[in-house]
């Protein structure tokens, strides 16, 4: 595994980091607790020392599963990355900026973006309890909140750093203007942002700014939630309640399939899976510090960790880039 320094902080994170959205179950068609715990253990056993989660993932379940999985392990060898600012519980419901309804036909669960100082302090205490720890390595606002001044949110993060409850502060889904405004109040460790072969918008603006100002970039959805593994063009199917039934609609399936077919021979030549080739490509892109990869069982977790061993030379990077132009 490769370990990379996150921005201006002293944190060293695994280049392939475990993404814990799917094990929360909700929006993913459920989960299997035993498999989820096994996936976390397999990640740790294969050099993935960094685990990224959020209270919203499974409405607390993802953090609880991570807390259970790491119980009794050497905490100094594990980096916990979590978030705040998506609220759904009764005490905060209706506060902040309405985001979407995460419920079902039978039960409505309205979710709000809410980054007030009071809410951040509350959420951190809840996350610490679920994770079974007394500090969080990297705390990130999950989504920008238009109802709260960015300076207020950053002030709360600064206070938590001074208290020792978090080691570093980051943001997620911030555009260039929001990054610049946040940096007026705090030295940001990172910006967690969607980035993949199919979604490269941050290469203009965000990436150059992050490089120039030494802000780490955490790429999420590098496999576009499984689409770039190629399996959904074969036998794999999605459960009715899986959010990817709608998520995949943003992409042109014919173009994506043609692209994957064009790079498949390279994966075959290297005796690796398409997923491993795609993950490794993502870790090699300018400005990208770490890449999040989800796994719902040990087999997937091991495969993700081993992606770091895929050797892609300059000519092969050019080959992939040429085919990206067709997307």
Look at the block and give the residue holding tokens 């969607």. Answer: 194
DSSP conformational letter for 138: E
Contact between residue 217 and residue 202 where contact means Cβ atoms under 8 Å apart: yes
DSSP 274-310: HHHHHHHHHHTSTTEEEEEEE-SSHHHHHHHHHGGG-
Look at the block and give the residue holding tokens 């955490």. Answer: 218
Closest by Cα among 180, 131, 132, 176 to 154? 180
Of 18, 57, 114, 220, the active-site residue reads: 57
Pairing, β 16-19 against β 50-52: parallel
Closest by Cα among 190, 147, 200, 196 to 167? 190
Give the containing element (helix H, strand E) for 126: helix 117-131
Q: How many whole angstroms separate alpha carbon 83 and alpha carbon 66?
A: 14
Neighbour tally for 222: CB within 10 Å? 29
Is 209 catalytic? The answer is no
Q: What residue spans of the chain are helical by DSSP H?
A: 33-45, 61-70, 117-131, 150-163, 176-182, 206-212, 244-247, 253-269, 274-283, 298-306, 314-324
Q: How many whole angstroms separate alpha carbon 266 and alpha carbon 198?
A: 18
Closest by Cα among 27, 55, 156 to 112? 55
Just list the catalytic residues: 57
């Amino acid at each position: 595994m490769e370990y990379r320094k996150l921005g201006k902080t002293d944190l060293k994170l695994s280049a392939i980091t475990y993404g814990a959205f799917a094990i929360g179950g909700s929006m993913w068609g459920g989960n299997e607790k035993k498999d989820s715990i096994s996936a976390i253990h397999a990640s740790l056993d294969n050099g993935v020392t960094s685990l990224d989660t959020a209270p919203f993932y499974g409405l607390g379940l993802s953090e609880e599963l991570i807390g259970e999985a790491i119980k009794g392990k050497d905490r100094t060898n594990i980096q916990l990355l979590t978030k705040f600012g998506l609220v759904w519980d009764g005490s905060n419901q209706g506060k902040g900026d309405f985001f979407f309804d995460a419920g079902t036909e039978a039960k409505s669960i309205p979710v709000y973006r809410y980054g007030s100082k009071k809410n951040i302090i509350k959420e951190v205490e809840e996350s610490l309890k679920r994770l079974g720890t007394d500090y969080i390595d990297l705390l990130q606002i999950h989504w920008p909140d238009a109802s709260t001044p960015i300076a207020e949110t950053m002030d709360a993060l600064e206070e938590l750093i001074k208290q020792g409850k978090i080691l570093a502060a980051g943001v997620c889904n911030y555009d260039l203007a929001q990054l610049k405004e946040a940096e007026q109040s705090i030295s940001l460790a990172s910006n967690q942002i969607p980035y993949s072969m199919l979604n490269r918008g941050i290469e203009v603006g965000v990436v150059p700014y992050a490089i120039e100002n030494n802000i780490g970039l955490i790429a999420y959805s590098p496999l576009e939630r499984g689409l770039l593994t190629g399996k959904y063009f074969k036998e794999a199917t999605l459960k009715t309640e899986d959010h990817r039934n709608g998520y995949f609609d943003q992409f042109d399936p014919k173009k994506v399939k043609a692209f994957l077919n064009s790079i498949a021979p390279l994966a075959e030549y290297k005796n690796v899976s398409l997923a491993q080739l795609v993950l490794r490509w993502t870790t090699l892109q300018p400005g990208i510090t770490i890449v999040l990869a989800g796994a719902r069982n040990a087999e997937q977790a091991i495969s993700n960790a081993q992606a770091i061993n895929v050797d892609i030379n300059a000519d092969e990077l050019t080959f992939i880039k040429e085919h990206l132009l067709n997307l």
